Chains A and B, each alone.
Chain A
Amino acid sequence: MTHTHKLIDGVRIDLTAEEIVEIEAREQAWEAGAFDRAMEDLRFKRNAKLAETDFHGMSDRTMSAEMTTYRQELRDLTNGVTTKEQANAVVFPTKP
């Protein structure tokens, strides 16, 4: 990505060489963290799906075998995921 300018109060100002180096360093750091972010997002969504079925585990209910399997599949979702591409391609199981 070519960085050329910034806007300050609506005025276009060309970036200095130092500013471009700083931006590129920030972008490289961002790229380096891509896998961690993908995993964080994956867990974020997975945990939400687990939370929405938590009530099945309450003491006055009996969890069905299908629900038990679904929740275990959610917990196992991150197993073996080692790349950003794999994390983004994970398909969530269908809730029974």
Chain B
Amino acid sequence: MALSKIDAVNFLTGTIPSGNVANASLNAVTALPAAIETGSIVKLQTQTASTSSSITFSSTYITTTYKKYYLDYTNVVISSDGGNIAATVSANNGGAYTTSGYYYWRIFSNSADGNNSIASGGGTGNSSLLMVGTGVGLGTSTDESGSGRMTIFDPFSADSKLFISEGLCIGNDGTLVQQYIYQGLVTSTTINNIKISPNTGTIVSGEFTLYGVTT
């Protein structure tokens, strides 16, 4: 297709002729046209821990709207050296939490280890969903903290519930620890609430953000 006209003046200055666009000024743009996708990851809520015993995302945010959720945790510090943070889920918005029967398989390595020194193992009877601080616990010394993400797959599915935690921390031994934990809960019961807590003590600080993922 050949160009029918080139406006030489506007080409040089970069000015858009106002007649060619609905809003010639960026300040006048207040919304994207409906036809443009706004993205597939939607931030639902951020909570900031402050010596908190637990942090919960309720059925207000965990809904049938999304088939997948990301739970990000950043710069988490807990009060007990060597502890970890983990989550339990509820089918009735916190009325009761499942505290047994979590399947898991974890793999972790440590910056203090040599090449190819990767530890792994699993089980079927965990009391919670591991997040970060397993294998080597979270440290409490200055500059020691943990971060990561838990992917929650379709909590409203009629099939088993599946989770992946990927985290890293400067552990209580002062090394960098990388952790991947694949987890499952064999139940057809839906999930609409997740509670995060340390195994002992409190969550001194850290940000927890829940995202909904459009699939």
Contacts and interface: CB of A to CB of B under 8 A. Distances in A.
Classify the interface of chain B: helix, strand, loop or mixed.
loop
B117 A9 contact: no
Interface string A1-44: 10111111110100100010001001100110000000001001
Contacts of A48: 113, 117-120
Nearest to A13: B56
A5 B116 contact: no
Contact of B53 (A4, A41, A49): A4
Interface in A37-89: 41, 44-45, 47-49, 52
B119 A1 contact: no
Nearest to A8: B56
B64 interface: no
Interface string B187-205: 0000000000001111000
Contact of B51 (A4, A27, A95): A4
A44 B55 CA distance: 30
Give the size range of A's interface with the partner: 20 to 34
Contacts of A12: 52
B49 A44 contact: no
Contact of B56 (A6, A44, A45, A49): A6
Given A30-B199, A48-B118, 12 more contacts: A1-B202, A6-B53, A6-B56, A7-B47, A8-B56, A9-B57, A9-B60, A23-B53, A26-B200, A27-B200, A44-B119, A48-B119
